[in-house]
Structure 1
Amino acid sequence: MSSQRKAEAATSENIVTTETSSLSDLWKKEDWLAVWIGFIIIAVGAVAVITGAFDFNAAKFSTWGHGTSFFEQVNAGFFGKLILTVAVLGVLFTVGNHLKGLSVKKYLPAFLGLFLLAVLVRFISAEYTLNRWLEWAFFAILIGILVSNTIGVPAWLKPAIQTEFYIKVGLMIMGFSVLFSNIVNFGLYGLGIAWIVTPIVILFMWWFGTRVLKIDNKSFVITLATATSVCGTSAVIAVGAASKAKKNDLSLTVSISIIFTVLMMVFEPVLIRVTGLGELIGGALIGGTVDSTGAVTVAGTALGETAQTAAVLVKSIQNILIGFIAFAVAVFFATKVENNGESSRKIGVSEIWYRLPKFILGFFAASLIASFIAVPAFGKETVSSINSVLDQYKNWAFVLAFTSIGLETNFREIKEQFQGGKPLTLYVVGQLFNIVLTFAAVYLLLSGKFFPLPNLAL
């Protein structure tokens, strides 16, 4: 066993045997702090929209280029929202890091530096041509990689590089937009496509990666499997936390996912047109196979309005699985993987509770509150308006996270992880299996030959 593998094994051993929960975790541990920060942003955003007493909108970079100048949107209002954004996130994350035990003097200037990089990411990704083909996540990682692999990450910036913290908060906020009513809109069709195919693909990729390719890094295998079958980067972080994936596991998974997401976003609509599958089947196929929600929307739109609606519904229903899968992975890794299958070493309920990503509970809670309290009380339009406000805070948190991933990415280390091309083989084989299985489910449910066609309406 290599020294690296020994170190990882020792780390896993410590995780299984020494960590316990305590009441202070509620205000000291990152998972719980992500929950509280997420709920604070959701609550303030909801109050702002419902009462109309103040504007809580974060800064948004509108598309520029193609006849319009970026400076047309730069005005007092834009700078005011940019200041509000950095103030809200800066205060919340600084307080969170203080509670975690990190020096405010070290974190705050580092956060401001990272936020400036995030502003650069939003600026570049809003350019008309780039915005049409690539998501901001690509540019966030690219800029981070350019810094880390050229001049290197300065020591003063490192305290702010906290990938998991930022994206946990982003996922918490995203939970409020995942309405369970989406299941009703598409009924058993969406459930059949998203909730039956997805677990099968994950199990297949786990078997193929660990048994056929014999990849030792099981955290990477399950993370890549979930990214392929659910929703790319969001699933990467949720399941990465549940399986204790390393930073490089996340970087490699996100890199592979983004590359193939771009390719599928561009070429899948073309192939669907050539084969004459139609908008309904084509849109559902895109929703079930393209990793990123944003890319799903773009690819669906390329086919037409019906395709876009079908794609978004399938992906939305699929996204609800993120929390359930993360919970299952946490239990599986605690009881089987890190336990090395030894029946003599039992993993108790307390250990499973400790390993469970707490922000996933917050994700569920936010979704339930939105679906069964906010919508009945204030109406779907008001909740939609709240989510329009929250969406930008979620995006800023994600930009901070993916820029951090880029800053932590070292090409030499990633090269070592490719293990003779096994990760790429795992993704390609898994995605092909995903496409075939999803197509079979989509054709069975939406061809009109076996079941009546649904009436789609978002």
Structure 2
Amino acid sequence: MPESSTKRLSLHEDWVVVILGFLVILCSLFLYIIPVPAFKWESAASLTDNVLSAANLGIIGIQFVFLLVVGIIGTMLLGKSISRFTMGFPLVFLITIVALIFTGNAFVKTLNLEAVIFSLAIGLAIGNLFKLPQWFKDTLSTELFVKIGLVLLGTGVIFSDILKAGSLGLIQALVVVLSVWYFAFWLCKKLKVDEELTMMISSAVSICGVSAAIATSGAIKGDPKKLSYVISMVLITAIPMMIFMPYIASYLSLSQQVTGAWLGGSIDTTGAVVASGTLVGEEALKISTIVKFSQNVLLGMAAFAISIYWTYNSSSQSSGTVEKPTLKVIWERFPKFVLGFVAASLLFSFALSPDVIKPAKDSLKNLQNTWFTLAFTSIGLETNFKDLFKHDNKKPLYAFLLAQLFNILVTLLLAYLLFG
């Protein structure tokens, strides 16, 4: 695609997510309800007769075409290669369907393991055992997939829940972000981590992982290689947290509200928060997502403050001219997909009648789960454990891990005090 055409078509990913999310919602409400495939099975016979039947495979095929079309529209709006996305998406979808089928087994259901765990595991195995071509990695749209799922999640969250949990979540977010950021900053200084990594690590571990690291890097004009290193730390450490924290919460007999607040406040990536909340239950999923959104809302203000610090810090002046912070920076860093989530919640809370919502409810829930599972397939495929050990200096890794431990403990205490 010519450069001028790409620029003309390219939109910010968060706005694209809002467009695509509401495209899915409006289609389900007023045009065509995507049928829900069957994945439940107990034996080889039920697997063949139900899940792998011609009728059910046809439904899976309809879902594939629908998701592919939505993904192509998103790719076009983002100014990316449609042909490459069309070639890469079928493999991501196939892995996702295998994970959904595996999770549909009656025995696996008793283990309370969700499809995102298996899609992540399969993706990790493929991504770490085989060298994937760069063009394929470029088609992996993790953030796009998970944010569409989050917009759809808004259709199942009543607005009164947002107001109730959101106020407490904002209090928790303020305390966590301030305390964890300054602890990570102090620790990095003690370990003599360079200033760019210090700022990115502090923001990533305290606010919202990848998005915060990217926003901070943009605010300070950071080195892309250092940003990639921080993102690798965020993604790889989020995996064990996502898997084990729900079981720790169960062992501690924490309520779903406390567990959700703990997960939402301490796990760095929004997708991992959703996955871990899903492992606990519907209430934990709602609370964890709302709490994470409360932290996401602070991203713009954090980027603004970091811009001010970096601009006027004497040691940064030697690196060149840095863009002066303005109110525009806050808006540019603000995660717009949160507006899509809130708008969907408002629409389903106040504007639509139950008679309109009911026919599409199961379909939207299924599509939400599918987008999340697609996202974690992508995370697995693009995460390489070797990336953590390529960096010669291990002090940034040690600082990140210690700051993350501090984050987990502080957030658990606050979650218990505010939501217990």
Tell me the TM-score range normalised by the shorter chain: 0.7 to 0.9
The structure-2 alpha-carbon separation of the partners of 1:99 and 1:257, relative to structure 1 and needing over 3 Å to count, comes to: closer
- 1:230 — aligned with what? none
Q: Does 1:144 align with 2:123?
A: yes
| Maintained 8 Å contact 1:133/1:262 | no
Q: How many Å separate the matches in 1 of 2:21 and 2:89? A: 18
The structure-2 alpha-carbon separation of the partners of 1:334 and 1:326, relative to structure 1 and needing over 3 Å to count, comes to: same
- Equivalent position SS for 2:336: helix
- 2:133 — aligned with what? 154
- 1:225 — aligned with what? 206
What is the aligned counterpart of 1:164 among 121, 143, 146? 143
The structure-2 alpha-carbon separation of the partners of 1:243 and 1:345, relative to structure 1 and needing over 3 Å to count, comes to: closer
Deviation sequence 1:173-220 (CA, Å, 0-9, x none) = 334444322146xx4xx4564331232112211111111244525334
Query: In structure 1, what residue type is equivalent to 2:398?
Result: G
| Maintained 8 Å contact 1:25/1:32 | no
| Maintained 8 Å contact 1:370/1:383 | no
Shift of 1:396: 2.5
Q: How many Å separate the matches in 2 of 1:427 and 1:66? A: 42
| Maintained 8 Å contact 1:330/1:356 | yes
| Maintained 8 Å contact 2:258/2:415 | yes
Q: Does 1:404 align with 2:404?
A: no
Query: In structure 2, what residue type is equivalent to 1:392?
Result: N
| Maintained 8 Å contact 1:182/1:316 | no
- 1:97 — aligned with what? 75
- 1:15 — aligned with what? none
What is the aligned counterpart of 1:260 among 241, 249, 265? 241
Deviation sequence 1:336-384 (CA, Å, 0-9, x none) = 457758799522344444x335xx334314423532x443333357547
- 2:13 — aligned with what? 30
What is the aligned counterpart of 1:81 among 51, 55, 59? 59
Q: Does 1:111 align with 2:85?
A: no
The structure-2 alpha-carbon separation of the partners of 1:317 and 1:118, relative to structure 1 and needing over 3 Å to count, comes to: closer
- 2:269 — aligned with what? none
Q: How many Å separate the matches in 2 of 1:222 and 1:60? A: 42
Query: In structure 1, what residue type is equivalent to 2:95?
Result: L
Q: How many Å separate the matches in 2 of 1:127 and 1:325? A: 41
- 1:347 — aligned with what? 325
Shift of 1:114: 2.2
- 2:298 — aligned with what? 325
- Equivalent position SS for 1:347: coil
Q: How many Å separate the matches in 2 of 1:351 and 1:171? A: 24
- 1:210 — aligned with what? 185
The structure-2 alpha-carbon separation of the partners of 1:148 and 1:82, relative to structure 1 and needing over 3 Å to count, comes to: same
- 1:9 — aligned with what? none
Query: In structure 1, what residue type is equivalent to 2:117?
Result: F
| Maintained 8 Å contact 2:150/2:341 | no
Q: How high is the TM-score relative to the length of structure 2?
A: 0.76
Deviation sequence 1:383-422 (CA, Å, 0-9, x none) = 4764532233233333332222222222221234663533
| Maintained 8 Å contact 2:151/2:344 | no
Q: How many Å separate the matches in 2 of 1:296 and 1:98? A: 32
Q: How many Å separate the matches in 2 of 1:377 and 1:260? A: 38
What is the aligned counterpart of 1:423 among 400, 403, 419? 400
Query: In structure 2, what residue type is equivalent to 1:181?
Result: S
- Figure out how many residues of one structure are paired with residues of the other and give that number: 383
Deviation sequence 1:132-183 (CA, Å, 0-9, x none) = 3444333333222222222211355334223233233333333444432214
The structure-2 alpha-carbon separation of the partners of 1:168 and 1:389, relative to structure 1 and needing over 3 Å to count, comes to: same
Q: Does 1:121 align with 2:99?
A: yes
- 1:448 — aligned with what? none
Q: How many Å separate the matches in 1 of 2:323 and 2:348? A: 45
| Maintained 8 Å contact 2:33/2:360 | no
The structure-2 alpha-carbon separation of the partners of 1:398 and 1:208, relative to structure 1 and needing over 3 Å to count, comes to: same
Shift of 1:117: 2.2
| Maintained 8 Å contact 1:238/1:322 | no
The structure-2 alpha-carbon separation of the partners of 1:107 and 1:191, relative to structure 1 and needing over 3 Å to count, comes to: closer
The structure-2 alpha-carbon separation of the partners of 1:171 and 1:25, relative to structure 1 and needing over 3 Å to count, comes to: farther
The structure-2 alpha-carbon separation of the partners of 1:169 and 1:294, relative to structure 1 and needing over 3 Å to count, comes to: closer
Q: What is the root-mean-square deviation of aligned Cα atoms in Å?
A: 3.6
Deviation sequence 1:42-94 (CA, Å, 0-9, x none) = 2112225xxxxx432354633x4489843333334422321122212212222
The structure-2 alpha-carbon separation of the partners of 1:140 and 1:435, relative to structure 1 and needing over 3 Å to count, comes to: same
Identity of aligned residues (%): 21
What is the aligned counterpart of 2:22 among 30, 39, 59? 39
Q: How many Å separate the matches in 2 of 1:141 and 1:351? A: 34
Q: Which runs of 5+ in 1 are unaligned?
A: 1-22, 49-53, 227-234, 273-280, 301-307, 444-458
Q: Which runs of 5+ in 2 are unaligned?
A: 1-5, 219-226, 265-272
- Equivalent position SS for 2:131: coil
Query: In structure 2, what residue type is equivalent to 1:290?
Result: L
